[in-house]
Amino acid sequence: MNVNIVVLYHSSHGSVAAMANEIADAIENQGGTALLRTFVAKESHDIVITKDDLIACDALAFGTPTRFGMMASQAKVFWETTSDLWLKGQLIDKPACVFSSSSSMHGGNEATLLNLSLPLLHHGMMLLGVPYEVPELLATQTGGTPYGASHVAGAKNSAQLSKDEIKICQSVGQRLVKIARKLQ
């Protein structure tokens, strides 16, 4: 069965976009369809999210950089327009996960992941974390939490995704496909 999964993100310096691409690749490798969407088109290939994208998807991966332990304002502005979806219950029971990037190891990734979760929970979505069966979660010296995939970009936001961070992102995409198929 095909599943359509929206990978929705905002990226300031490229780290969150790299994570979104890893998640999307994992979705595609599992036979799902990944629909990369963003809040603001920075590049000519960027596609800006619509509420119809959310209504039509089978699952959602949602990520932004950390902004003082919270989601990027571009994401918050969008979620504040979705009350009509909430009133109609149009996202209820769709699986979802969250991902984030910060400059430092203690730069707010876990708080941001929890903050990203709030609109999804309000919409009745089923939040998926990263289970400890993913061995990289215990081994990582960079990003990765049970709340969702994360990345530590470094003080100059130049660090590439580590092997562990890539594996955790891939596990998130694989899990979304698995759960979305079970729910069909």
**Is residue 158 very low, low, confident or very high in pLDDT (cuts 50, 70, 90)?**
confident
Q: Provide the pLDDT confidence category of residue 33 given band limits of 50, 70 and 90.
A: very high
Nearest to 26 by CA among 166, 181, 135: 166
Task: Return the pLDDT at 157.
Answer: 82
What's the rounded mean pLDDT across residues 78-94?
98
Whether the pLDDT of residue 155 is over 90: the answer is no
Output the pLDDT for position 159: 85
pLDDT of residue 1: 81
| Mean pLDDT computed over every residue of the chain | 96
Q: For tokens 């979760």, what's the residue?
A: 117
Q: CB–CB of 162/143 below 8 Å?
A: yes
pLDDT of residue 106: 87
Q: How many of the other CB atoms lie within 10 Å of CB of 139?
A: 11
In angstroms, the CA 70 to CA 55 distance is 25
DSSP 67: B
At 10 the pLDDT is 97
- Mean pLDDT over 10-39 rounds to 97
Q: Over 90: is that where the pLDDT of 148 sits?
A: yes
For 170-184, what is the mean pLDDT? 97
Please state the rounded mean pLDDT for residues 162-182: 97
The tokens of 79 are what? 């979620």
**Exposure class string for 89-121: b at 16+ Cβ within 10 A, else e:** ebbeebbbbbbbbbbeeebbbbbbbbbbbebbe
Work out the average pLDDT over 127-136. 97
pLDDT at 156: 84
Kindly state the average pLDDT of the residues 81-90.
98
The C-alpha atoms of residue 89 and residue 124 are separated, in whole angstroms, by 8
CA–CA dist 157, 176 (Å, integer): 28
Closest of 179, 182, 184 to residue 27, by C-alpha: 179
pTM summary value: 0.96
Whether the Cβ atoms of residue 99 and residue 150 lie closer than 8 Å to each other: yes
Given a cut of 90, whether residue 105 has pLDDT beyond it is no
* Residues constituting the chain: 184
